[in-house]
Amino acid sequence: MLLYAHSGLRYLVLLAGLAVVVNAAYGLATGRPYDKRMRVLSAAFAGTIDLMVLLGVALLFTGTFYPQLGGHIVMMILAAAVAHVVHGVMKRRPPDQQGYAPHLVGSLLALGLIVAGVLAIGRPIVG
């Protein structure tokens, strides 16, 4: 059951990451001021990644381990770190220094790491 939950949750993670990328790109393109929606989407993305990490650790405790999993674990921990660093830094900046560019770059990097991590274990991204 944990494996199915872990595997299925990837769609929410990808959707949350895509929402951050689209919102940040739209904010940059239109020049609109940084708003609460960006903070909420960024927090949702980092939170869903946290849930994935938690389920992944639970899976490790069930004894599910094979050699390709090493690369998967490293990539996912890096993706979680990137998502949290961007969210944390932007949350702590003064309002006049908050912007969309770090969210766009950080989320694209985190999504790239997630895709690489999923491919490391030989699973398709969607399907």
Give per-residue pLDDT as tens, 66-97.
787 888 999 999 999 999 999 999 999 998 89
Residues 74 and 9: their CA atoms lie apart, in Å, by: 18
Q: How many CB atoms lie within 10 A of CB 36?
A: 7
Tokens of 59: 């899976």
What is the DSSP track for 96-115? GG--SHHHHHHHHHHHHHHH
For residue 127, the model assigns a pLDDT of 73
For residue 63, the model assigns a pLDDT of 79
Tokens of 124: 């398709």
For residue 4, the model assigns a pLDDT of 86
pLDDT tens column, 87-127? 999 999 998 899 999 999 999 999 999 999 999 888 888 87
- What residue ranges do the domains of the chain occupy? 2-120
Asked if 51 and 9 count as a contact pair (C-beta separation under 8 A), the reply is yes
For residue 85, the model assigns a pLDDT of 96
pLDDT tens column, 4-59? 888 889 899 999 999 999 999 999 999 999 999 999 999 999 999 999 999 999 98
Q: How many CB atoms lie within 10 A of CB 56?
A: 21
Distances (CA, A) of 22 to 1, 38, 74, 101: 32, 10, 26, 12
For residue 121, the model assigns a pLDDT of 87
Q: How many CB atoms lie within 10 A of CB 124?
A: 7
